[in-house]
Every structure is written in C-alpha cells, then in structure tokens.
Amino acid sequence: MPRILVVDDDPMVCMAIEIYLERHDFQVTIADGGEAGLRALEGTAYDLMIVDIFMPHMRGFESIRIFHERAPTVPLIAMSGYAFANLNSPAPDFLRMALELGASRCLRKPFTPVALLTVINECLAEAQSRFSSVVQLR
C-alpha cells in the first residue's frame, strides 16, 4: 500500500484528499503545515508527497525545496489555488516555480479526484521505473 504525505493547512482539503485516497488503497498521513510535514518525513518513509504552495509560517516553496533536499527520490506534487485579484497585471507562474524547486508535478486547485489520482499514479510509475533502472544497473 503506497504511503502518501499530504501537507496543507486547509483541513477540508486534507480531509477530502485523505478520504478519496484511502478509498483507492493508499495510506495517507496528513500534516497541517510545512513544519509538521518535515516532522512526519523524519520518522517515516513515503512513496509520494503532496504539498500546498501557500501556507502560513513555513511557505510551501520553502517546504518543497527542503522536502526535495531531504527526500530527493520521493515524487512531490505541488498544489495551489492562489488567485490573483488583478488579472490584467502579469502574474508569476507559481506552479512552474514549484517544478523548478523539485516538484514532479503540479495541480491547480480546485482539481478533480480523477486528476489527482492520475497524477499520483504517473508519479509512482515514474519513481518505480527509475528504481527498477537503478536496480538493473547493479
């Protein structure tokens, strides 16, 4: 059963993701922010992480960078629901920035459960493929 760490400060988002993924045979750990996510990462090995970009205290970008440094082989999905008040002004592409910091994939909130499951399965398949390649080289 794949283990997934979900890091988001919104309890409703966490609950929805947890319920959906547990119904699809994933073991889910919820962390309500970057610090809690890092503590969870210290004690347990995960197959995948899902991290919100905008959270109080430790920002998601900082979390993504640190998570990627501490667990570089674990796929990380960054998610963001950030909306800009003025659509006429140029806006930074936060999801692309997350990819540059080490995220494997990005999801823009709101996303469908099917989109979440698809991205998770792609990331896990890619990680398994990389692992198989490393094992074969030895």
For residue range 38-47, list pLDDT tens digits in order: 899 998 999 9
Q: What is the pLDDT of residues 99-138, one digit of tens each?
A: 888 889 999 888 999 999 999 999 999 998 877 765 555 5
CA atoms within a 13 Å half-sphere pointing along the CA-CB vector of 75: 22
- Collect all residues with Cβ–Cβ distance below 8 Å to 20 and sequence separation of at least 6: 113, 116, 117
- pTM given for the model: 0.86
Decide: 13 and 37 in contact? Cβ < 8 Å.
no
Residue 76, amino acid = L
